[in-house]
Structures are given as structure tokens and as C-alpha cells.
Structure 1
Amino acid sequence: MSVKDRVMKIIAEQAVLDVEDVKMDSTLEDLGIDSLGLVESIFSIEEEFDIQVPFNANEPGESEFDISSVASIVKAVETLVSEQA
């Protein structure tokens, strides 16, 4: 399973949606994921990929981790995974 598929699965689980309902251009807000759901998603992503996500829940706008859309999250995770390899 690709990084993209695994990230989309985690996001779908947090949003309580089918993976098919999670689109690359969706925002977390579109999917109904609030700040708590975002933090839980980040934890799940870190656990799934054994990576450290540079994200400050208190100041999400100041974070290096782009959460503006599903596509940006997938890209950021792919980058973190490749840097770790």
C-alpha cells in the first residue's frame, strides 16, 4: 500500500468516512475533521510511518507541516518518509 493510500485511510478513519469519499483536494474542514481529529490524525500518521511530524497543534499556521488539503498532507508525509529512509 502506498504512502498516499495509507494517509488517506487514516484521514478517512478520523472523518468516519469511506476512503472513496476522501479526495486529494479535500480540506480537513471539508471532511469534518476538527482540531482534535487533526491531532489524532497526526499521531496515527506518526505511528503508521514511524516518523516525527513537525506540527504544533497550538499554532497550526506556524507549522512546517502543510495541512491545507489531503494532497498537501500526503506530500508532506512522503517527504518525511523519504528523508528518514
Structure 2
Amino acid sequence: MSETVRDRVIAILAEQAVLEPSDVEPQHSLADLGIDSLGLVESIFAIEEAFDISVPFNANAPQESGFDVSSVDAIVAAVERLIAEQKG
């Protein structure tokens, strides 16, 4: 079975948070997972590499970048949107 975008994003965030992917819930914020600003940057680099996309440089300011990092679900949706935009 192929890995979904959601599965891969959760795996990246779980690795950064030193958690099992099963411990990462869609409603969790990065703070809930124990991911700080440096962890966010490392997670974004890993997401860019995993999906061959470019995340806006100001992703930590979603009102400016359109890349919402408020929850796991929001990050998954933002990654899916970027994949669609950059393929299209």
C-alpha cells in the first residue's frame, strides 16, 4: 500500500517530536508535539525534500504565506495544496 501525504507528514512530524506516528493526532499543534521553532524549520526542510516542493519562507506566519502550521491537519492540507499547485 502506498504512503499518503498525510502518512508521510505525520511520520516527519513524529520523527521530529521523537514520537511514534500513532501518537500524532490530526488536531495536535506543534506545541502539543513538543516541536519548537527550530523543529518546525527542520520539519519543513524534511517535508520539502520528501515531496519535492517549496514551502514559503515565511511559513511560520500563515496569514502572509498561506502555509498554516496551526495543527497537523492544517500542515497536511497546506502540503497537499502546494503539491497540487506545483504539479499544475
TM score, norm. by length of structure 1: 0.92
For 1:15 and 1:63, the matched residues in 2 are separated by 24
1:27 to 26, 29, 53: 29
The structure with more helix, counted as a fraction of residues: 2
Establish whether residue 13 from structure 1 lines up as the match of residue 15 from structure 2: yes
Count of residue correspondences: 83
Structure-2 residue corresponding to 1:70? 72
Q: Which runs of 5+ in 1 are unaligned?
A: none
Query: CA RMSD, aligned part only?
Result: 1.1
**Residue 63 of structure 1: how far off its partner (Å):** 3.0
Establish whether residue 37 from structure 1 lines up as the match of residue 39 from structure 2: yes
**Residue 54 of structure 1: how far off its partner (Å):** 1.0
Q: Which runs of 5+ in 2 are unaligned?
A: none
Between the aligned residues of both structures, percent identity stands at 65
Runs of 4+ with >6 A deviation: none
For 2:57 and 2:23, the matched residues in 1 are separated by 25
Could you tell me whether the CA contact under 8 Å between 1:55 and 1:64 is conserved in 2?
A: no
1:80 to 42, 60, 82: 82
- Aligned to 1:66, the other structure's residue is in SS state coil
